[in-house]
């Protein structure tokens, strides 16, 4: 792919894999609390501590899986670190730069480095824009391409994500769920980011499509040296794609470790409970469900 600006070039060089072990993204003690407002004057009467002191780091080209039951705050982590919702406290460092303290202009530059893929492939595409426009919008907005070059790059992105050139002239509703997710991935890739937050990218898809999308993400990671923060509640998916796994419960990370260590030798009681809750193909096999205090099920 053609690089446009010298700035992008520099970013590219510093993030080569293997030049030291500087993590790409460091999250320190991230807190996101939502105020509960009541009454006529909207007084704050309390807080929902969706994320309450989460720390982790992601190395270049690696995938960190964030698992947990629904409502544990994993999606909020993804959105807070991209500054889509304001965080209450903590720091997020992208290559040593604090994401939360950037002036708007700098933030725009950082946004190019970090993208997000959403769970709902239908809702994440504007129904009134053609696919070419959707995928090309990031490039247009950041002034990275225009005219014929824009069209060329959009077509290239679509083809790279397993679609075809002509898809650019169609509207999102003309595609299946898996295809829409590919469009979403193509859009996220347009800015050539280094980090992609994948917010349950496969949970709205059926199993056969899931594996296609996971393989696509895998290939793209290799090709572009991407790092993923992979948010999911599906242990099988997490096991398939992640290098490291962080287990979240009630807004906190209870355990973090290498994939195999977490899956085979979980240390925390909650992790064991979560693993024991994974459904089995054979319904006759009696499993020992481990119950954990405060688990919602």
Site residues for another protein per CB under 8 A: 42, 79, 82, 84, 107-108, 111-112, 114-116, 118-120, 123-129, 137-138, 141-142, 171, 173-174, 184, 187, 191
Is the Cβ of residue 24 or residue 204 nearer to another protein in the bound state? Answer: 204
CB of 158 to another protein, least distance (A): 17
Is the Cβ of residue 37 or residue 287 nearer to another protein in the bound state? Answer: 37
CB of 184 to another protein, least distance (A): 8
Q: Alpha carbon 9 to chain centroid distance?
A: 24
Four-CA torsion 199, 202, 203, 206, nearest 10 degrees: 170
CB of 179 to another protein, least distance (A): 15
Q: Which residue has the tokens 């490039």?
A: 139
CB of 235 to another protein, least distance (A): 24
Is the Cβ of residue 5 or residue 126 nearer to another protein in the bound state? Answer: 126
Is the Cβ of residue 118 or residue 270 nearer to another protein in the bound state? Answer: 118
Residue 280: phi, psi to the nearest 5?
A: -110, 150
Is the Cβ of residue 92 or residue 247 nearer to another protein in the bound state? Answer: 92
C-beta separation of 247 from 268 below 8 A: yes
Structure tokens at 168: 């650019």
CB of 43 to another protein, least distance (A): 13
CA–CA separation, 198 and 79 (whole Å): 10
CA–CA separation, 213 and 228 (whole Å): 14
Distances in whole angstroms, Cα of residue 267 to Cα of each of 50, 145, 229, 247, 295: 24, 49, 22, 11, 17
Judged by DSSP in three states, 103 sits in coil
Is the Cβ of residue 115 or residue 271 nearer to another protein in the bound state? Answer: 115
Judged by DSSP in three states, 273 sits in helix
Is the Cβ of residue 124 or residue 271 nearer to another protein in the bound state? Answer: 124
CB of 144 to another protein, least distance (A): 11
Residue 44: phi, psi to the nearest 5?
A: -85, 120
CB of 183 to another protein, least distance (A): 11
Specify the DSSP class assigned to residue 288: -
CA–CA separation, 97 and 95 (whole Å): 6
């Amino acid at each position: 792919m053609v690089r446009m600006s010298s700035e992008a070039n520099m970013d590219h060089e510093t993030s080569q894999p293997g030049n030291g072990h500087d993590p790409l993204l460091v999250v320190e003690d991230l807190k996101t609390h939502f105020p509960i407002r009541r009454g006529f004057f909207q007084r704050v009467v309390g807080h929902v501590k969706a994320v309450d002191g989460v720390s982790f780091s992601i190395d270049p080209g690696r995938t960190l899986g964030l698992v947990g039951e629904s409502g544990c705050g994993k999606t909020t982590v993804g959105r807070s670190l991209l500054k889509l919702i304001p965080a209450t406290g903590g720091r997020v460092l992208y290559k040593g730069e604090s994401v939360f303290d950037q002036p708007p202009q700098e933030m725009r530059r950082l946004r190019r480095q970090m993208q997000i893929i959403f769970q709902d492939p239908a809702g994440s595409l504007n129904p009134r824009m053609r696919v070419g426009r959707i995928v090309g919008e990031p490039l247009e907005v950041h002034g990275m391409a225009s005219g014929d070059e824009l069209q060329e790059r959009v077509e290239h992105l679509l083809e790279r994500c397993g679609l075809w050139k002509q898809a650019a002239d169609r509207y999102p509703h003309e595609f299946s769920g898996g295809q829409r997710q590919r469009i979403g991935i193509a859009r996220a890739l347009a800015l050539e980011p280094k980090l992609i937050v994948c917010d349950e990218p496969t949970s709205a898809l059926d199993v056969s499509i899931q594996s296609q999308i996971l393989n696509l993400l895998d290939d793209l990671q290799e090709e572009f040296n991407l790092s993923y923060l992979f948010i999911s509640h599906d242990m099988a998916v997490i096991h398939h794609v992640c290098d490291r796994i962080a287990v979240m419960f009630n807004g906190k990370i209870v355990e973090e470790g290498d994939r195999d260590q977490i899956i085979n030798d979980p240390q925390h009681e909650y992790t064991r409970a979560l693993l024991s809750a994974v459904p089995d193909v054979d319904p006759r096999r009696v499993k020992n469900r481990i119950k954990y205090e405060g688990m919602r099920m």
